[in-house]
Amino acid sequence: MIYTGAPKSRFVYSQLTEKKENLIAIIGIGSTNIGIGTTIVESYKIPPSALDEIVLSKLQTINTKKQEIVTLTTNNFNGGSPLCPIVQTTSFSSDIIVGSSKTVIEYNCLGVTSICSQAGRAEVRQDTLNAWTFPVVESVDTTKTFYTQGEGYQQVTSATLGLGVTNYLISNLDNRGGIHVGSTLIGYYYPIASGCAGTISSITSITNQITALRTEIANMLEEINALKKVKTEAQIDFWYENLGQDDSKKRLVGIQSAIYSMERNEIPITSYELNP
């Protein structure tokens, strides 16, 4: 349409038309960038995902070894009168149960006086790998502010490789020195007090293997986090690219509405300008 109103109105109309054309061009470029950005973000996930997978494999081995200790000590305890003596208080420690619930339980209660034996016991839970995540960045949800909407730790699994930012934790050990206990209970650990050198040696050997695997994981965390950092930066760039695209589309709708309004009301606008 050729707008033939008074000079100032024509100037406004031309400005709106120019902004409309510029926004259409920006949106076109944005669409191309978003297409490219999608590939970029997915590509950035590949390196940390590969290392996540290695860590998860090591965690599976750790949890399998924890199960071996649980089975060994539980079978010993369930033997009625244990073949190997069991610690009778909660004053015990072990790398595999630090941070878990320690209690003293009673068993083999005899007679009306309920004279019972006692045994220390601790929960043994799975080690897990977790990442600090910004969900709206991961999902590119531009309707929410990414740093104030649901951020928190999420467990990394085979279905969520490459997830999150930094600060990984595994049960009883993390790269910031804190404690994190996995949610899945493996079973119970009944610490052996003394004697049964062979059994104690087996437990010590398995525990040392767990400790070595945890050290390997801890050493990988810095490398994984370095990759996760650049991956997250790419995701944030992509998030802002989408946010800008959404904003440009909203502005285009507003400008188009203003253009339609001027076109529909050209006569009264022109009359007012010429005869204010």
Question: Is residue 169 classed exposed, middle or buried when 0-12, 13-18 and 19+ CB atoms within 10 A define those classes?
Answer: buried
Contacts of 132 (CB under 8 A, 6+ apart): 151, 152, 153, 164, 165, 166, 167
Structure tokens at 272: 């007012």
The helix-helix angle for 197-264 and 7-77 (nearest 10°) equals: 170
pLDDT in tens, 211-258: 898 889 888 888 888 898 888 888 888 888 988 999 999 999 999 999
What is the C-alpha to C-alpha distance for residues 3 and 10, in angstroms, rounded to an integer? 6
Q: Is the pLDDT of residue 114 over 80?
A: no
Q: Is the pLDDT of residue 110 over 80?
A: no
Q: Where are the domains of the chain?
A: 7-22+37-75+127-181+197-266
Structure tokens at 109: 């209660």
What is the C-alpha to C-alpha distance for residues 72 and 143, in angstroms, rounded to an integer? 53
Q: Is the pLDDT of residue 50 over 90?
A: yes
The pLDDT assigned to 179 comes to 40
Secondary-structure percent of the chain, ordered helix, strand, coil, rounded to 5: 55, 15, 30
Nearest 10 degrees: Cα torsion 88, 91, 95, 100: 90
Q: Are the C-beta atoms of residues 129 and 55 closer than 8 Å to each other?
A: yes
The helix-helix angle for 7-77 and 266-274 (nearest 10°) equals: 130
pLDDT in tens, 140-169: 888 877 666 777 778 888 888 888 875 555
In which band, very low, low, confident or very high, does the pLDDT at 113 lie, cut at 50, 70 and 90? low
- Cα 219 from chain centroid (whole Å): 19
Most confident by average pLDDT, 34-38, 78-82, 86-90: 34-38
Residue 208 vs residue 88, higher pLDDT: 208
Structure tokens at 107: 């068993």
First to last CA, the chain: 25
Amino acid making up residue 181: V
**Helix (H) or strand (E) segment spanning residue 212:** helix 197-264
C-beta contacts of 132-139 below 8 A and 24+ residues apart: 132/164, 132/165, 132/166, 132/167, 133/163, 133/164, 133/165, 134/165, 134/232, 136/239, 137/232, 137/235, 137/236, 137/239, 138/163, 138/164, 138/235
